[in-house]
Structure formats: C-alpha cells, structure tokens
Amino acid sequence: MLDVAAIRREFPTLQRRIGDHRLVYLDAAASAQTPRVVLDAMDRYYRTARSNVHRGVYPLAEEATAGYEAGRTALARLLGADPRGVVLTRNATEACNLVAYGYVRHHLRAGDAILSTVMEHHANMVPFWHAAQANDLELRHVPITSDGRLDLDAARELVADGRVRFAAFTHVSNVLGTINPVAELAGIVRAADPHAVVHVDGAQAAPHLPVDLSALDVDSYAVTGHKLCGPTGIGALVARPELLERMEPFMTGGEMIRDVTLDGATWNEIPHRFEAGTPMIAEAIGLGAAVGFLEDLGLDVVRAHEVELGGMFLAGLRDAAGVEVHGPTDMTDRGAAISFTVEGVHPHDIGAVLGDRGVCVRVGHHCCKPLMRELGASATVRASLHVHNDADDLEPLLEGISAARAMFARPAVPA
C-alpha cells in the first residue's frame, strides 16, 4: 500500500494552496508533478557537473555523461528493454515522429497499409497520416465498442488481406482509460504479416503499470518523461535494436555521425545515431531519478493503488447527478484517467469552477479529435489519478461538479 500522505510531502507543488483551498491535483495524465528527488538530481547537475556529454575527458564531463546514460539505462530497466534501443527524444510526440520518418517513410511503399485505431492521441496519429500522404499509403482504423474497447474482430478483418506493414496504437487511452490488449493486437497484426512492425504509444501506460516490452512483443514504444514524474523536455523511443538498425536518422548533425567528409557522412552506433546535437542532459538525469522514484514505490503497487482509487472515483462519478462516464466501467482493464461529461454544463465551465476550488482537471478534446467525434462530444472533463491522490480527493471533485451544475445547468425544457 502506498503511504499517500508521505508521498504528497515529496511534491513541492502539492504543498500549495489555491485561495482557501488545498490543491487537489487530478491531472497527472496531462503532466505529473515533480518529486523532490528529480528536482535535486537536476539541481546537482547544474551546480556541480554542468558540462556537455560524450565529448569532454575531464571529470565534470564524465560525470555528466554518466548521469545522462544512467537516465537511458533506468528507462530500459523500467520497461524491460535493451539500453541500445532507447533513443532519448524531447517527448512522446517526437518518438512517434522518429518512427514515422525513420521507418515508415523509408520502408513502406504505395499500396501498403498502416493499422491504427480511432482512440489515438494526435501524437500517435498525425505523424502516420502525414507519412501516408507522402508515400501513398492506406490508413485503416480499428473501431471501438460501445464500452470503449478496441474491436478485435474488426482488427482481424482489417489486416486480413496481408497489406498492413505497420501498426501504431496506444497502450492506454488518455481519454477512455482503456488498457488495450497490446500483445493480442500485435499477434493479430503479425499473423497477417510476420514482418509487420508494431509501434505502441506508452505515454499513459509506463507511469502507471508494470510494462515488460519483451512480453508485449512490440517493436517500438513511445514514452514521455513529464508523465513519469520526470521533467518536461525528455521522452524516449524504446525500440528493438534491430528496428533502430533499419531506420534512417530523422535529424542529422553533430554527435550522430561516425565520420564526415566533404562528400558525405557515416552514422554513429545506435541509439546515438538518432540523438543529433547536444541532448537534454539535465532532463535525462531528472528522468533517471524519476524512474528510480517510481521503482522505489513499485509499479505493481502503483497499479494496485490506482485500481482501488479509480474504482472509488468511478463509483462516485457514476452516482453523481447528471454525470456520464466514458470508457470501460471496470478497473481490471482500465487506467485511472476518467473522462466524463455533465448534463447541461460545458466541460470548460466544470473545469473553471473546479479550478477556483483548487481542483485541477483537464477539459477539452484531449488531443483526440477523431475519438471525440466517435463519442459524439466536442469535449469532456478528465480527472486522472496518480501516486499522490487518495480518497480525500474525491469529495472536492464531486462538490465542484455539483456547484457547477447549480450555477450552469439549464433546466430541462418542458415537453
């Protein structure tokens, strides 16, 4: 069990008040807060080892390089991956673009198809749509069932002609909370084409669940540091080294070369081949500390905490007047990002009323416009939980929703 009171003390931002209200942070799915160990690790780098990486031979530079590489190995350990397959990027969006530019645009040809789903974040959708435009590829989308799960029978039909060479789908939906059956869907794709490459967006999974990439049988996995309690400006593409060996660099310049002549260049080893220029050094060091923070809590314990708390929030929201929850209703196959709408009140009004009461939720389309169209909503409210939340955070949420209804809900027009 997590000691949430002790964990909260580790997050300086959570000590803040908003007016007379305690800060109730229910937006970790957008960006998690940063614990002290991460702030301290980054501060230490700037104060004691500030220098560039992979170049200097003096102690400061060696320490900076060791810290940067420790961020990489920490992430590899967290996800059960080979550190040679971990490319540090700015965020998950850049990781998805790296696959789109480095693999899809170089290896897929006119007439090939890409399998995606209707529940993707724009980060895992637009780069592949863009690549499809460039290479004349066909895009196919797995639909969802009425309770927000992927329709795997439809997926089987979508790959049946053997033309799907690449698949990109999310592990956990940032809107519906659905935990997708990654290994099963990867198996469906590979049954139709054993050489197909499977890319998964793990932005909402890695911070909340134990993830073992070797068991999931995927080729690449995108994560983002700021949702993992790390700093902004760092993420990663965690790939099978064999896939990276087949990819073209996305950005070229310093650090990523083996040799340069006036006529050309040869590339550095993986993963450095994909890390052009001076990288995000403090951020990688902070990411390593964030991974350590989550590992110390235990990802299985984090998941158990979120299952229990998520169940409580789901029940509380479902019982609240006028509230409709979107996505699976059972915590066994959903994460703790809970989207809902409130009858007669715009999500932005709910968000503003909650915000004034110190309750931070996300409102809007959550960078999932196609999914919003599927749900028939222009926006939802999303409350999302992490290690610093507990049952005390539910009441302020429900009270704020009820206050917003009292303020904004239009009375039903008599028939």
Instruction: Tell me which residues are annotated as active site.
Output: 367
Least gap, CB of 406 to ligand PLP (angstroms):
31
- Per-residue binding string, ligand PLP, 24-43, x by CB under 6 A, is --------------------
Q: Are 67 and 45 in contact, with CB atoms under 8 Å apart?
A: yes
Angle CA 393–394–397, to nearest 5: 95
> What Rg do the C-alpha atoms of the chain give, in angstroms?
22
Does 97 bind ligand PLP (CB under 6 A)? Our answer is: no
Alpha-carbon gap, residue 189 to 96, rounded angstroms: 19
The beta-strand segments (E) located in 179-290 are: 197-201, 220-224, 235-239, 257-261, 264-267
Assess 204 for contact with ligand PLP (CB under 6 A): yes
Q: How far is the CB of 256 from ligand PLP (least distance, A)?
A: 21
Q: Which residues sit opposite 166 in a β-bridge?
A: 114, 197
Residues 165-184 that bind ligand PLP (CB under 6 A): 170, 174
Least distance to ligand PLP, CB of residue 182, Å: 13
Closest to ligand PLP by CB, 121 or 163 = 121
| Rounded Cα–Cα distance for residues 104 and 164 (Å) | 12
The correct pick among 91, 117, 178, 389 for binding ligand PLP (CB under 6 A) is: 91
The position carrying tokens 């059956």 is: 181
Give yes or no for residue 380 binding ligand PLP (CB under 6 A): no
92 forms part of the interface with ligand PLP (CB under 6 A): yes
- The two structure tokens encoding residue 399: 């009270």
Say if residues 43 and 286 touch (Cβ distance below 8 Å).
Answer: no
Residues 344-373 that bind ligand PLP (CB under 6 A): 367
Residue 70 near ligand PLP by CB under 6 A: no
> Considering beta carbons, is residue 241 or 364 the nearer one to ligand PLP?
364
H-helix or E-strand containing 360?
strand 359-360
Residues touching ligand PLP, count (CB under 6 A) = 14
Nearest CB to ligand PLP, comparing residues 34 and 65: 34
Cα separation, 13 vs 25, in Å, equals 9
Q: Which of 53, 70, 76, 123 binds ligand PLP (CB under 6 A)?
A: 123
Q: Which amino acid is at 270?
A: I
The span from the CA of 380 to the CA of 177, in Å, is 13
Residues whose CB falls within 8 Å of the CB of residue 23, separated by 6 or more in sequence, listed in order:
13, 14, 15, 16, 17, 358, 360
For ligand PLP, the closer CB: 65 or 91: 91
Total number of residues shown for the chain: 415
Please give the single-letter amino acid code of residue 274.
F
Q: How far is the CB of 2 from ligand PLP (least distance, A)?
A: 23
Nearer to ligand PLP, 270 or 368 (CB): 368
Q: Find the shortest distance in angstroms from Cβ 305 to ligand PLP.
A: 20
Nearer of residues 31 and 52 to ligand PLP, judged by Cβ: 31
CB of 364 to ligand PLP, least distance (A): 11
Main-chain phi, psi angles of 136, to 5 degrees: 60, 50
CB of 49 to ligand PLP, least distance (A): 26
* Residue 116 binds to ligand PLP (criterion: CB under 6 A): no
Q: Specify burial of residue 333 (Cβ count, 10 A radius: 0-12, 13-18, 19+).
A: middle
Q: Which stretch binds ligand PLP (CB under 6 A): 79-87, 102-110, 117-125, 150-158?
A: 117-125
Among 33, 34, 65, 93, binds ligand PLP (CB under 6 A): 93
Residue 124 binds to ligand PLP (criterion: CB under 6 A): yes
Q: How far apart are CA 95 and CA 218, in angstroms?
A: 15
Q: How far is the CB of 150 from ligand PLP (least distance, A)?
A: 14
318's tokens: 């479902």
Q: What is the dihedral of CA 81, 335, 199, 245, to 10 degrees?
A: -20
DSSP state of 97: H
Interface with ligand PLP includes 236 (CB under 6 A)? no
Output the six-digit token pair for 45: 């780098």
Q: Which stretch binds ligand PLP (CB under 6 A): 86-94, 125-133, 143-151, 268-276?
A: 86-94
Give contact residues for ligand PLP (rule: CB under 6 A).
91-93, 121, 123-124, 170, 174, 201, 203-204, 224, 235, 367
